[in-house]
Structure 1
């Protein structure tokens, strides 16, 4: 069959970044607005992935719409797998990043041992295509974990967080131009487009007070989706990214230069690590984790004061999730309560850009009470009385 992967042009990278942002936003919308829950959302998208991937594997050539639809679904699914480990199972991001990095090494090692190539210009057999999509899935999971871990370490605002993955991609392009191994450079850049796309979406959607442009999640998703559709239509008609067959005469490699550029990559990695260590040591507002104490609140607000500034539909959504969590806790199902409360955290974080500007004092008050709920339910040895008290207090504040 003809090569099943598009030529790696500037359009490839543009649409890859756009797909990352839209895919993650769509998953969050299903998880929060429909009240499906994180695990159920992951199950739904796993089934969707099986169907879409079957469609992609069934084609005999590269079809832009089918290929990029598969990329979007793989992006969503890989992100959800990481979120489950972090939010539902409490796996530290450092550990999940290491696990996914090891898994990706196994995938690449097995792929190369069988096919003797990792080049995307040679995806002309079913085994190679299967290896390709498995690698893509793991790169999305790895990119999600390392991107979130970076934000956890640094506390960077959305505008600043875009610069690190962007700078690293520029460094990779520079190395590739100077003779670095093309396959290695491609997969390094591919991993980094995941945190770049997510950070770019956060920057566009977050309010200006948080370092964003204030477009909102919905507007950002619509803009990116329109750009994806326009690009796919262009590629469908222009066929400018079609590889008719595997390249029988790839560009001659320069082993000596490739070794030099491997040293360059090592220096870039060391510099990025040093930057993260330095940023972590600077005073910053850390991301709330499982063991973090909630931020102190100086004044108590009545339910009316806490909720009157916010849309009733949003408050009703938070109240429903909190009530469901309390019901599961009272029935003795700690695991289900812990899983359900993750939906509260996800929904609250997603609505922050629109809610906080309406009434920062009320938002911080409710944020503190939600933090107390999360801390209680995710404690290493949770106490049911403490959990129930935190949930009941939040329910009261939500009216």
Structure 2
């Protein structure tokens, strides 16, 4: 029966079915040939989404859409370009910098790729940058978004295990900054090698002016982060505060957002949320079937039979997750595998917060690796470049991601130092 579950799931993935429906149809096929009543489908799906902290997801999605429609993206890009544009390959550096700042608002890589890419990819191509590089730097830097708070995958991870969302958010700050700095250095070295253009140095007056134009956007990230860390509000309350803040800034400060556009933004946010919640529901059903079949215990036992060495086991888990991330959507993989692998990691002495960062980091790397690298597909459609060319141009950035992943895995302080300051 277990074989049927995975055969149907893999077959549907190969045929191009969305991951949510692949999980749901595979689970339905399993139940048809078992003694378990089909009533368990709505029960387990509802149980999967009936979690209070998940209410923060539609809030953060809506806040990100409101900020994007309110002109935040353009102001962040303008500020980063004013600050970094005079350096060789300045637009590439501004691309990475904008992703770091915008990621702290949207919390999702796909939103980052679409929003930043729609502005930066055409601008970079116009200035003489190679199209594959323009797309690769956009897609790669977008993976910073799910690591720097607020992060939707970390909210899911906390929901699954009862870990503190605030602690996970803080734990992602240093890894996210390291990844961003690594991408900045890589983009600069490539720009020097290929002699990409640079703009004239901007005056301090213009830099300061662009900073104040982006000030309210930057304040939103600080508001969310320090509000949660300081215990002023929960992650769910923070998402609502973010929505109110984004709407107020877009309507009355930047004035790029109009009341006429709000219904459309609400509808698009609802569609995104609904798709995500269906995925969460089906993944919870799939994970429950795995538990019934005692697959988590079998996986844990197999891994521990191979080795009980902490560092070697983490290496094996990393290799497994990189492969899984290349074929499966981040949230689905997190829902199915995180509780299983967390149990194994804790048995060999890995801190749960550190392992959550390792897990999320691994899976977001898959967003820029074929065949299911969704950020690559988004960048490809914007830049009009083949997936193969973007993937090849993105190899240096992939190497940086793997190096930072190694630091997060084998140097616990990278992810645990800041939470230790704020929570202990």
TM-score, length basis structure 1: 0.26
Highest RCO, 1 vs 2 (Cα 8 Å, sep ≥ 6): 2
Larger radius of gyration: 1
Q: Report which of the two has the higher share of helix.
A: 2
TM-score, length basis structure 2: 0.25
